[in-house]
């Protein structure tokens, strides 16, 4: 069991570990963003030299420990506060 209640997928404690890399290239705002959940890539006028990170990490304040905060880093950046989450589709 986790420290908090599970999310709607039954997962515990999914926020606050590390900032998570996402596939999206950096865009300064959401104008023209895909509405279907697909990645927003360079072909759609993004800067893929900078990638989006989301969610805050263990050393951030509570306001960053959720999925909506986003920031950008050079695509080749590495440090102890960024990582990625593995996901797998499950059969119903």
Could you give the number of structural domains in the chain?
A: 1
Q: Which domain holds residue 49?
A: 19-30+37-83
Compute the half-sphere exposure of residue 54: CA atoms within 13 Å on the CB side of its CA.
12
77 domain residue, yes or no? yes
Q: Environment class of residue 19 by beta-carbon count within 10 Å: exposed (0-12), middle (13-18) or buried (19+)?
A: buried
How far apart, in whole angstroms, are the C-alpha atoms of residue 59 and residue 15?
12
How far apart, in whole angstroms, are the C-alpha atoms of residue 19 and residue 49?
18
64 domain residue, yes or no? yes
Give the pLDDT confidence score for residue 36 in this predicted structure: 94
41 or 58, which is more confident?
Answer: 41
Alpha-carbon torsion 56, 85, 75, 77, what sign?
positive
To the question of pTM greater than 0.95 for the whole model, the response is no
43 domain residue, yes or no? yes
59 domain residue, yes or no? yes
66 domain residue, yes or no? yes
60 domain residue, yes or no? yes
For residue 9, pLDDT beyond 90: no
89 domain residue, yes or no? no
51 domain residue, yes or no? yes
């Amino acid at each position: 069991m986790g420290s908090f209640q599970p999310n709607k997928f039954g997962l515990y404690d999914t926020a606050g570990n590390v900032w998570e890399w996402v596939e999206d290239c950096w865009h300064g705002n959401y104008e023209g963003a895909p509405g279907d959940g697909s990645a927003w890539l360079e072909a759609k006028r993004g800067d893929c030299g900078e990638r989006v990170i989301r969610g805050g990490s263990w050393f951030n304040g509570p306001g960053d420990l959720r999925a909506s905060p986003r920031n950008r880093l050079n695509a080749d950046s590495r440090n102890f506060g960024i990582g990625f989450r593995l996901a797998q589709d499950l059969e119903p």
